[in-house]
């Protein structure tokens, strides 16, 4: 590694449907900072903000960032990114950097779920669900709303029981009604909550089994932060799952790792521009007429 | 003196009771189902009896169907498919297919000239194939359920939706409103989403005319038109499409006694 390369930093920005994440790494692939914030309606502003915050936390300026890769469903709305890469590729790289032996990665996000088969750190196969809210974080949000609970307290309460109620509905809308019926029947809240987690886990594991589940299994995404969900996942899968310290940022981390590779390739070919101008532009998404 | 027969259909959204005699329908009632099916059944029965000017002792036999039908205290319980077929056969003897769009799911049924079932396909796993999606969207648009149909028929460019999940559609409808889509165009787009689901179900059964649309969804003229366009077939709608299963139950009660 030459002097130029050792002083450079790299960034990955993952704009998900619910949360936006930024990760800054250095020349040794060591994470210098990360930021997680809600996505909201204005992706571009959010991309700027998480990037600014990540720079602030790392104590570096934008001109020190050699290469930026954006990923996630809002990746086209990161105007300062050098390249866009699909979340599946980034996610696989991020997970494999934390768990080099990983064979199966299960990610449950705010509005989707993905199952990745990974071998030698590379993505070999995947399946996703973004068509149906059941089996995504959205199902949990609907359940929390129905019960008037916070997402994190739901997890804690569900751990109080080992006898989950069976939720039969495969559809989030019908499950919502079923939750109300179970409550009115007098079923204990922890049992209902545990049943909600089992219902999501069952949906996602069904997707995973189409690919064949090999261990070790890594579980990521915002939903992996929920202890009730983790317990349900292990119980339905029948094997323990590994969870990163910060399960939301694996996609952004993978993007930063890929950004470092890209930058090093440019440097090697002598194509890296050390004087390029970079700025965070606060562009808004322009909607059609009537956006007000 | 001919006897009277009462059919219950205790559905997820509405509960219905129909009283018939040997010559046809005498009275009916519809109330919201609520959470206690036994209480609801008693109430919907009382309302139908009152409307017919009858006493409970005038009823020779009863039969029930619907998700809460087992709580109705009827003489017998029957599946909704068979009740749909009996009710529609009585109303439209030429009917060979039924599309029942209810609050909790949809049924496609084919039958012969005697009203005997040939084939059927049930969808109750996804809210998008049911009238439930209409309720969700009507709430967002602050439109009455009975206004949806006429309003949607004024659509000039139906909204396109990228998802077929009711939960995600809820969000997308709000996005479309913020982008300035008109309520009628949004409704027409939603009708297409439901029609797509129904036409997917129709792959499993061979629909033949006459086709009768029943259930709460049949009250929505825009939805019926959308299904007609999607399937390329003409649909018939009874005057009281929500009552067909209860009517069929009453017919079955009458069959058991004659």
Convert the pLDDT of each residue in B83-114 to its tens digit.
999 999 999 999 999 999 988 889 999 999 88
**Is residue A287 assigned to a domain?**
no
Q: Which of A131, A288, A292 shows the shortest C-beta gap to B165?
A: A131
Residues of A in contact with B164 (CB under 8 A): 131
Task: Say yes or no: A127 and A228 in one domain.
Answer: yes
Task: Say yes or no: A170 and A198 in one domain.
Answer: yes
Q: C-alpha distances in angstroms, A25 versus A58, A78, A98, B108, B138?
A: 9, 18, 14, 57, 49
Give the residue on B whose Cα is nearest the Cα of A291. B179
Q: Is the pLDDT score of B211 beyond 70?
A: yes
Question: Which tens digit of pLDDT belongs to each residue from A62-92?
Answer: 888 999 999 998 898 888 899 999 999 999 9
User: A225 to chain B nearest CA, in Å?
Assistant: 23
Q: C-alpha distances in angstroms, A198 versus A192, A195, A226, A264?
A: 10, 5, 13, 45
B15 interfaces chain A, CB cutoff of 8 Å:
no
User: Which pairing describes strands A113-119 and A104-108: parallel, antiparallel, or unpaired?
Assistant: antiparallel
Question: What φ, ψ does residue A90 adopt, rounded to 5°?
Answer: -65, -45
Mutant choice from B126, B160, B170, B177 vs A, greatest count of A C-beta within 10 A: B126
Task: Say yes or no: A121 and A201 in one domain.
Answer: yes
Q: CB atoms < 10 A from the CB of A40, how many?
A: 12
How many domains does the structure of chain A reveal?
A: 2
Q: Which of B132, B167, B179 shows the shortest C-beta gap to A287?
A: B179
User: B181 to chain A nearest CA, in Å?
Assistant: 8
pLDDT confidence bin for B179, thresholds 50/70/90: confident
Range of the domain at A182: 106-242
**Is residue A57 assigned to a domain?**
yes
**Is residue A231 assigned to a domain?**
yes
**Is residue A273 assigned to a domain?**
no
CATH 3.30.420.40 domain residues, chain B: 1-92+241-258, 93-237
Q: What is the CATH number of the domain that holds A202?
A: 3.30.420.40
Task: Say yes or no: A27 and A155 in one domain.
Answer: no
- Give the pLDDT confidence score for residue A41 in this predicted structure: 66
Report the greatest alpha carbon distance in chain B. 64
- Give the pLDDT confidence score for residue A292 in this predicted structure: 31
Percent with pLDDT over 90 in chain B: 75
Contact A174 B104 (CB under 8 A): yes
Question: pTM, whole model, 2 decimals?
Answer: 0.81
Q: How many CB pairs under 8 A join A and B?
A: 51
What number is the ipTM of this complex? 0.77
Task: Say yes or no: A115 and A236 in one domain.
Answer: yes
**Is residue A213 assigned to a domain?**
yes
**Is residue A289 assigned to a domain?**
no
CA atoms within 13 A on the CB side of A160: 11
CATH number of B1-92+241-258: 3.30.420.40
- Give the pLDDT confidence score for residue A290 in this predicted structure: 34
B229, B195 Cβ separation under 8 angstroms: yes
Among A226, A242, A258, give the residue marking a domain's end.
A242
Question: Which tens digit of pLDDT belongs to each residue from A29-51?
Answer: 999 999 998 887 666 677 888 99
Rounded Cα–Cα distance for residues B192 and B175 (Å)? 18
**Is residue A282 assigned to a domain?**
no
C-alpha of B163 from chain center: 24
Q: Which of A111, A174, A290 shows the shortest C-beta gap to B127?
A: A174
Mean pLDDT of chain A: 88
Q: Which of B127, B166, B180 shows the shortest C-beta gap to A291?
A: B180
B192, B159 Cβ separation under 8 angstroms: no
Task: Say yes or no: A66 and A122 in one domain.
Answer: no
Strand partners, A36: A21
Fold of B93-237: Nucleotidyltransferase; domain 5 (3.30.420)
In what helix (H) or strand (E) does residue A105 lie, and over which residues does it extend?
Answer: strand A104-108
**Is residue A285 assigned to a domain?**
no
Task: Say yes or no: A69 and A111 in one domain.
Answer: no
> Tokens 């952004």 sit at which residue?
A252
Residues of A in contact with B127 (CB under 8 A): 171-174
């Amino acid at each position: 590694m030459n002097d130029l390369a050792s002083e450079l930093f790299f960034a990955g920005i993952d704009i998900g449907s619910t949360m936006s994440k930024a990760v800054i790494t250095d020349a040794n692939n060591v994470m210098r900072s990360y930021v997680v914030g809600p996505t909201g309606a204005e992706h571009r502003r959010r991309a700027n903000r998480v990037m600014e915050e990540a720079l602030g936390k790392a104590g570096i300026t934008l001109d020190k960032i050699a290469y930026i890769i954006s990923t996630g469903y809002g990746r086209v709305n990161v105007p300062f990114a050098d390249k866009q890469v699909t979340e599946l590729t980034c996610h696989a790289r991020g997970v494999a950097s934390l768990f080099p032996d990983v064979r199966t990665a299960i990610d449950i996000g705010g509005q989707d779920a993905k199952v990745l088969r990974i071998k030698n750190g590379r993505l070999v196969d995947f399946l996703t669900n973004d068509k149906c809210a059941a089996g995504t974080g959205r199902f949990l949000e609907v359940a929390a709303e129905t019960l008037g609970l916070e997402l994190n307290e739901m997890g804690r309460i569900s751990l109080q029981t080992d006898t989950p109620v069976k939720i039969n509905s495969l559809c989030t809308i019908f499950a919502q009604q079923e939750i109300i019926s179970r409550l009115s029947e007098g079923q204990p809240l922890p049992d209902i909550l545990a049943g909600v987690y089992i219902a999501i886990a069952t949906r996602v594991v069904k997707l995973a089994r189409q690919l064949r589940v090999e261990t070790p299994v890594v579980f990521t995404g915002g939903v992996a932060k929920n202890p009730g969900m983790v317990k349900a996942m292990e119980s339905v899968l029948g094997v323990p799952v590994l969870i990163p310290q910060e399960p939301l940022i694996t996609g952004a981390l993978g993007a930063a790792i890929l950004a470092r590779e890209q930058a090093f390739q440019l440097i090697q070919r002598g194509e890296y521009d050390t004087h390029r101008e970079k700025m965070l532009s606060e562009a808004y998404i322009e909607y059609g007429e009537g956006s007000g | 003196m001919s006897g009277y027969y009462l059919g219950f259909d205790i559905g997820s959204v509405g509960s219905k009771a129909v009283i018939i005699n040997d010559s046809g329908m005498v009275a009916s009632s519809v109330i919201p189902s609520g959470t206690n099916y036994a209480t609801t059944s008693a109430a919907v029965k009382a309302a139908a009896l009152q409307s017919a000017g009858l006493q409970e002792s005038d009823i020779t036999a009863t039969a029930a169907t619907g998700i809460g039908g087992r709580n109705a205290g009827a003489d017998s319980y029957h599946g909704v498919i068979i009740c749909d077929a009996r009710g529609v056969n009585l109303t439209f003897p030429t009917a060979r297919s039924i599309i029942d769009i209810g609050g909790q799911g949809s049924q496609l049924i084919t039958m012969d000239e005697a009203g005997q079932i040939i084939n059927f396909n049930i969808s109750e796993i996804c809210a998008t194939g049911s009238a439930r999606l209409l309720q969700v969207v009507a709430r967002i648009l602050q439109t009455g359920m009975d206004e949806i149909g006429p309003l949607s028929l004024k659509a000039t460019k139906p909204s396109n939706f990228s998802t077929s999940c009711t939960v995600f559609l809820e969000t997308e409808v709000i996005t479309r409103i913020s982008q300035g889509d008109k309520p009628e165009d949004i409704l027409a787009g939603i009708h297409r989403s439901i029609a797509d689901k129904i036409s997917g179900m129709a792959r499993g059964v061979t629909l033949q005319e006459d086709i009768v649309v029943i259930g709460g969804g049949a009250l929505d003229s825009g939805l019926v038109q959308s299904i007609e366009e999607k399937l390329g077939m003409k649909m018939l709608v009874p005057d009281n499409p929500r009552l067909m299963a209860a009517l069929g139950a009453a017919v079955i009660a009458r069959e058991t006694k004659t």
